[in-house]
C-alpha cells in the first residue's frame, strides 16, 4: 500500500538568487533538513489556524481561512494588512519555538516578511509571496497560492 505525500522542491527563479517553492505529490517522500525544512515550517505555521493544535493553541497565522474568501481586487488593503499581521505573528511564534538554539543555523529563522500579495481580477485567486531568511543568511521567497 502506498500513500501519496506532499513535499517541497526548490528552484532558482531569477538572477538575484531567489527561489520558488514547488509542492509535489509523490510516492517516494524524502526527509528534508536545513533551509528547506525552515521554509516548510514557515509555510505550515502561516497556513495553520490558531486553535487547531491542542499543544500550541495560540500558534498559526490563519492565512488559509483568508485565502478561502473572495476579495475585491480593487480594495485589497484590508487583506494585505491582515496577512502582514499574520506573518509578523508567525515570525514571533517560530522564533519563540526555536529558542533552545539546538538547530543548525540553516533551520533557524532570522526573518519572515510579506513580499507582496496579488489578487486576480475575478477576486477568486490570491497569491502571497513571503520572504524567509535563516540565521545562516540564506533567503528565499515562497509563494502561498
The string of DSSP letters for 33-71 reads -THHHHHHHHHHHHHSPTTS-TTSTT----HHHHHTS--
Give the pLDDT of the chain (145 residues) as one tens digit per residue. 333 333 444 444 555 555 555 556 667 777 788 898 999 999 999 999 998 889 989 999 998 887 776 667 777 888 888 899 999 999 999 999 998 878 999 999 999 999 998 877 776 677 889 999 999 999 989 888 6
What's the pTM? Answer: 0.76
Domains of the chain in start order, with CATH, are 5-144 (3.10.450)
Amino acid at each position: 500500500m502506498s500513500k501519496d505525500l506532499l513535499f517541497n522542491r526548490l528552484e532558482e527563479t531569477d538572477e538575484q538568487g531567489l527561489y520558488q517553492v514547488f509542492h509535489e505529490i509523490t510516492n517516494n517522500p524524502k526527509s528534508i533538513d536545513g533551509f528547506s525544512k525552515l521554509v516548510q515550517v514557515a509555510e505550515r505555521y502561516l497556513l495553520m489556524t490558531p486553535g487547531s493544535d491542542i499543544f500550541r493553541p495560540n500558534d498559526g497565522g490563519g492565512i488559509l481561512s483568508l485565502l478561502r474568501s473572495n476579495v475585491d481586487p480593487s480594495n485589497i488593503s484590508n487583506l494585505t494588512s491582515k496577512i502582514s499581521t499574520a506573518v509578523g505573528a508567525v515570525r514571533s511564534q517560530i522564533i519563540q519555538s526555536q529558542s533552545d538554539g539546538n538547530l543548525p543555523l540553516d533551520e533557524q529563522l532570522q526573518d519572515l516578511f510579506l513580499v507582496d500579495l496579488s489578487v486576480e481580477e475575478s477576486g477568486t485567486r490570491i497569491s502571497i509571496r513571503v520572504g524567509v531568511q535563516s540565521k545562516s543568511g540564506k533567503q528565499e521567497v515562497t509563494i502561498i497560492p
